[in-house]
């Protein structure tokens, strides 16, 4: 039977398709057009002809993760060169210019904050050396995946937490099913999934008949305003996604891995206890 009567909002407030389809800086998700209260998401896609964008983040802290290519970010009087999977945290009230000599694709997440935290650079090559930030989970359970914690406990921030997960082909991720809506809102953005790859994303409070079950492909985004949110890759292909969260209470709720695991999955083959889970 269902364990909850909480209704999910309409799908048009939770599912955003092909967010990687336009050049320039395009913000696809905001609190005004979605279920999010804090978290915004956009893409910065440049090429040799459309090779720079400039903007101000106003009262939002911002996190950037380079998905492909390389770029130069100018902010706070610095020029910062970023390569694939490098990440950058930029404090609120900043002017930002992003430029590239060739094609680059960057994910941008932001959230309004009251305090100003320091500019921070996360090099992927350094992240890979830290087993607390780059690790495998779910091995041997049908849920094997690799986690990359790009903007998490390794940085000082007010609300945002972000990273990315690569599943093994045909495997589940965000397993065991878990939720953390009291502390954190979340969204997934799927990338590095060239055709014909796709996955299935669930978001639900009703554990018997999930309210949202949808196909996801590269460039799609799904929001999790509440409820459990596992996903699965089709056989022969991986599901790869950015996960980004925003704490409801600035700093206080900015915690990774403190969750409620779906009853019945709180112990078992995953070896994860209730209250701790990985993407």
Question: Which tens digit of pLDDT belongs to each residue from 195-229?
Answer: 999 999 999 999 999 999 999 999 999 999 999 99
Q: Which two tokens stand for residue 222?
A: 């799904």
- Please state the rounded mean pLDDT for residues 94-120: 98
Q: Which two tokens stand for residue 86?
A: 């490098």
The 10 Å CB-count burial string (b at 16+, else e) for 117-154 is bebbebebeebeeeeebbeebbeebebbbbbbbbbbeb
CA-CA distance, 263 to 178, in Å (whole number)? Answer: 9
Q: Which of 64-78, 89-103, 104-118, 264-278 has the lowest mean pLDDT?
A: 264-278
pTM: 0.93
Pairing of strands 221-224, 184-190: antiparallel
Residues with Cβ within 8 Å of residue 129, at least 6 apart in sequence: none
Q: Are 38 and 109 in contact (CB under 8 A)?
A: no
What is the percentage of the chain residues whose pLDDT exceeds 90? 87
- pLDDT at site 139: 85
Residue that is written with structure tokens 């985004």 in the block? 221
Residues with Cβ within 8 Å of residue 32, at least 6 apart in sequence: none
Is the pLDDT score of 25 beyond 80?
yes
Q: Which of 130-144, 231-245, 265-279 has the lowest mean pLDDT?
A: 265-279
Residue 166 φ then ψ, to 5°: -115, 120
Task: Give the CA-trace dihedral at 13, 17, 21, 25, to 10 degrees.
Answer: 20
Residues with Cβ within 8 Å of residue 186, at least 6 apart in sequence: 39, 180, 223, 224, 229, 243, 244, 245
Q: Which residue from 226, 198, 196 is spatially nearest to 212, judged by alpha carbons?
A: 226
Task: Tell me how far the alpha carbon of residue 6 is from its chain's centroid.
Answer: 24
| 11-253 belongs to CATH 3.40.630.30 | no
Q: Which tops the pLDDT comparison, 31 or 139?
A: 31
CA-CA distance, 261 to 274, in Å (whole number)? Answer: 5
Is the pLDDT score of 53 beyond 70?
yes
């Amino acid at each position: 039977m269902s364990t909850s009567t909480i209704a999910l909002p309409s799908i048009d407030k939770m599912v955003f398709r092909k967010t990687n389809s336009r050049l320039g800086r395009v913000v696809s998700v905001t609190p005004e057009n979605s279920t999010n209260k804090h978290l915004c998401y956009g893409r910065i896609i440049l090429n040799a002809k459309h090779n720079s964008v400039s903007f101000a983040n106003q009262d939002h802290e911002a996190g950037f993760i380079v998905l492909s290519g390389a770029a130069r970010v100018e902010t706070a009087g610095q020029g910062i060169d970023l390569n694939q999977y490098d990440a950058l945290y930029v404090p609120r009230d900043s002017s930002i210019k992003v430029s590239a000599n060739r094609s680059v694709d960057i994910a941008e997440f932001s959230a309004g904050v009251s305090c100003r935290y320091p500019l921070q650079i996360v090099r992927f090559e350094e992240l890979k050396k830290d087993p607390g930030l780059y690790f495998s989970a779910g091995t041997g359970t049908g849920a094997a995946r690799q986690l990359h914690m790009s903007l998490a406990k390794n940085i000082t921030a007010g609300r945002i937490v972000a990273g990315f997960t690569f599943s093994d082909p045909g495997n589940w991720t965000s397993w065991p099913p878990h939720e953390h809506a009291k502390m954190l809102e979340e969204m997934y953005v799927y990338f590095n999934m060239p055709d014909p790859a796709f996955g299935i994303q669930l978001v639900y409070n009703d554990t018997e008949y999930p309210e949202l079950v949808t196909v996801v492909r590269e460039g799609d985004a799904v929001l999790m305003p509440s409820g459990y949110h596992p996903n699965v890759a089709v056989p022969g292909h991986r599901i790869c996604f950015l996960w980004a969260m925003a704490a409801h209470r600035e700093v206080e709720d900015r915690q990774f891995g403190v969750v409620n695991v779906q009853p019945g999955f709180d112990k078992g083959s995953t070896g994860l206890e209730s209250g701790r889970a990985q993407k």
